[in-house]
């Protein structure tokens, strides 16, 4: 890998490799229960990703290098805020600062999408996401016990001025 992965908005040919990358990432998450893994993988299949792209061309950011899916960031317009649904970097591309780049590209879409903030969640045991979100300027809003998939989550937000 001699260059940095290219960050861009997803297009139709990305649907299958993106769905596979999401499935692989979710399957490897040690702090997600089986119900969460099953439901989240099903939610982001290729057909659903295509529909998401058509609904909002800014909703899916992919990082690629040499036709290889390096990472992704999924979001959705949510009543004039942006809900950050998922982000991830495939194993071969970790440690390159790619997740920060994906989050920055997402932040760059907020004003275009007529929004003022991004919000998201992560598992309370996801120390990597907690570190990343804190470092990227997100603020913890609340910890929600026994919530989605009967697990504990932290809700986060980041105001975007524009």
How confident is the model at residue 2, as a pLDDT? 52
How confident is the model at residue 135, as a pLDDT? 97
By the 8 A CB rule, do 32 and 25 touch? no
How confident is the model at residue 1, as a pLDDT? 47
How confident is the model at residue 4, as a pLDDT? 84
Domains and CATH numbers, the chain: 6-159 (3.40.630.30)
Q: Using only C-alpha atoms, what is the Rg of the chain?
A: 15
How confident is the model at residue 161, as a pLDDT? 82
| Nearest CA among 129, 137, 135, 131 for reference residue 153 | 129
**Whole-structure pTM value:** 0.94
- Which secondary-structure segment (H or E) carries 16? helix 15-27
Run means of pLDDT, 10 residues per run, the chain, 162 residues: 83 97 95 92 97 98 93 97 96 93 97 96 96 97 95 96 72
- Who's near 59: CB < 8 A, 6+ residues apart? 52, 53, 74, 75, 76, 77
């Amino acid at each position: 890998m001699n260059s940095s992965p290219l960050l861009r908005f997803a297009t139709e040919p990305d649907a299958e490799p993106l769905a596979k990358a999401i499935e692989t990432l979710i399957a490897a998450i040690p702090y997600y229960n089986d119900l969460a893994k099953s439901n989240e993988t099903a939610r982001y299949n290729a057909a659903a990703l295509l529909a998401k792209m058509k609904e909002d061309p800014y909703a899916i950011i992919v990082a690629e290098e040499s036709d290889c899916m390096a990472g992704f960031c999924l979001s959705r317009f949510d009543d004039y805020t942006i809900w950050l649904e998922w982000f991830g970097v495939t194993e071969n591309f970790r440690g390159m600062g790619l997740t920060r780049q994906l989050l920055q590209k997402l932040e760059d879409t907020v004003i275009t999408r007529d929004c003022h903030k991004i919000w998201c969640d992560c598992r309370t045991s996801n120390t990597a996401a907690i570190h990343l979100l804190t470092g990227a300027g997100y603020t913890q809003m609340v910890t929600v016990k026994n919530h989605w998939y009967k697990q504990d989550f932290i809700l986060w937000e980041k105001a975007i001025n524009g």
